[in-house]
Amino acid sequence: MSDWNIRRTGLRGVLALVVCLSAWASAGAEEGAAEGFFRGQVVRLVVGYAPGGGYDTLARLLAPWIERRTGATVVVDNRPGGGGLVALSQVYRAEPDGLTLMLVNGPGAALAQLLELEGARFDILRAPWLARVSAEPSVVMLSGQSPFKDLAGLSSTAEPVKWSAGGKADAIADTAACFSEALGLGAEIIIGYKGSKEAALAAMRGEVDGIVTSDRSALKYARGGNLVPLAVLDRERSPLFPDLPTLFEAVELSDGQAWWIDFRARMARTGRALLTTPGTPADRVAYLAGMLDGILSDPAFAEEASAKGFGLDPAGPETLAELVAGTIGALEGERLVQVRHVLLEKYYR
């Protein structure tokens, strides 16, 4: 069976993470040697999407900062295909020297592995995570043309609630599925739209009742009142919507209902993150993680990122490893079967 099959590698991956974290902690004394290694080298910063998008823009924002701090030449390497899965599979099997980094869609990678999607030829439980750049909680939005106007209306209707999305496990459809499962909705997810913008336009036109999207996208879509935000799918409010309640504040959820929201929210917190190839020497991993922490905590970089429309929410490798191990690494047996059914089958006609 393949090395990226969770059912066979989950426990092994979690144990490997513990070993890696211990190694990273003890590698601080060797950072000087690692720093010398990177000086004068060429580092590839891989992006799994075409030039011009958000991941590409963020990578090109990071590149000169990494160059200044490492003394390396940083080349942004766009490798579009499979929603970033092709590039991640290649980085996973690259030379384990620390010279290949990737700005990865953390939730997308985790879901692809969890659902065993075609092209997911990696095991992110074994990947050396370096830093999270940002994370965006999800917001439930309803169309101004929908007959449903609030959470009470969604919960009480016998009619199917229709959501728009691009494809299964695109961070829109799967989050809508988790939300629908938590509230026990008779929902239907309509896929085939080309990205979040087209899915949002479908909701604005009244083709569907609503959309579940990131808080940053929700902020744009809420302008003009065509889409109305209802709740944040997390236990903490979004800084972009300080007055918008979380779902936990808006309705009373049982433990079983809350599980679906917590599960998807923890996965969302992996965010836009940087990782490198498994097998990379621990001292180089520690050096890269420390270097990136310095960049992401620099007010000047935060100012540059804000000017480009990016809000930062940095986190270190330990936090990322714990999030991954606590979500996909912890799923097994009947729960794993149930999650795959809900995310891939239940809400599609």
Amino acid residing at 140: V
pLDDT bucket at 225, cuts 50 / 70 / 90: confident
Provide the 8-state DSSP code for 90. Answer: H
β-bridge partners, 89? none
Residue 148 has pLDDT above 90, yes or no: yes
pLDDT bucket at 170, cuts 50 / 70 / 90: confident
Residue 24 has pLDDT above 90, yes or no: no
Per-residue pLDDT at 195? 81
Residue 2 has pLDDT above 50, yes or no: no
pLDDT bucket at 18, cuts 50 / 70 / 90: very low
The percentage of residues in the chain with a pLDDT greater than 70, rounded to a whole number, is 91
Per-residue pLDDT at 119? 84
Domains 6-135+269-331 and 138-266 share a fold: yes
Residue 325's nearest CA partner among 113, 115, 10 is 10
Average pLDDT over residues 275-290: 98
Per-residue pLDDT at 169? 85
Pairing of strands 161-164, 129-134: unpaired
78-to-26, 57, 96, 102, 297 alpha-carbon distances in Å: 34, 11, 20, 10, 26
Provide the 8-state DSSP code for 143. Answer: E
Per-residue pLDDT at 9? 47
Please give the helix or strand (H or E) that residue 16 lies within, else none: helix 6-26
Angle between helices 106-114 and 85-92 (to 10 degrees): 80
The answer to whether 294 and 90 are in contact (CB under 8 A) is: no
| Strands of the 161-164 sheet, one edge to the other | 187-190, 161-164, 210-214, 138-143, 227-232
Residue 20 has pLDDT above 80, yes or no: no
The answer to whether 60 and 76 are in contact (CB under 8 A) is: yes
Per-residue pLDDT at 349? 84
Residue pLDDT, tens place only, 25-40: 444 444 578 989 999 9
Provide the 8-state DSSP code for 223. Answer: G
Residue pLDDT, tens place only, 310-335: 999 999 999 999 999 999 988 999 99
Q: Which residues, 6 or more positions from 64, have their beta carbon under 8 angstroms from its beta carbon? A: 74
Residue 327, classed as helix, strand or coil, is coil
pTM: 0.85
Q: Please state the CATH superfamily assignment of the domain spanning residues 138-266 in this structure.
A: Periplasmic binding protein-like II (3.40.190.10)
What is the C-alpha separation between 119 and 121, in angstroms, rounded?
A: 6
Residue pLDDT, tens place only, 173-204: 999 999 999 999 999 999 999 888 899 999 99
Pairing of strands 210-214, 138-143: antiparallel
Residue pLDDT, tens place only, 42-99: 999 999 999 998 899 999 999 999 999 999 999 999 999 888 999 999 999 999 999 9
Domain ranges of the chain: 6-135+269-331, 138-266
The answer to whether 301 and 65 are in contact (CB under 8 A) is: yes
Angle CA(323)–CA(328)–CA(330) in degrees, nearest 5? 90
Residue pLDDT, tens place only, 102-122: 999 999 999 999 999 888 899
Average pLDDT over residues 136-140: 96
Angle CA(214)–CA(217)–CA(220) in degrees, nearest 5? 150
The percentage of residues in the chain with a pLDDT greater than 90, rounded to a whole number, is 81
102-to-153, 219, 244, 290, 341 alpha-carbon distances in Å: 43, 27, 33, 16, 30
Per-residue pLDDT at 295? 98
Per-residue pLDDT at 28? 45
- The shares of helix, strand and coil residues in the chain, as percent rounded to the nearest 5, are 50, 15, 35
pLDDT bucket at 238, cuts 50 / 70 / 90: very high
What is the C-alpha separation between 220 and 245, in angstroms, rounded?
A: 18
Per-residue pLDDT at 221? 94
Place of tokens 């804000």: 306
Place of tokens 């991956």: 13
* CATH topology for the 6-135+269-331 domain: D-Maltodextrin-Binding Protein; domain 2 (3.40.190)
Per-residue pLDDT at 7? 44
Answer positive or negative: Cα dihedral of 52, 45, 95, 6: negative
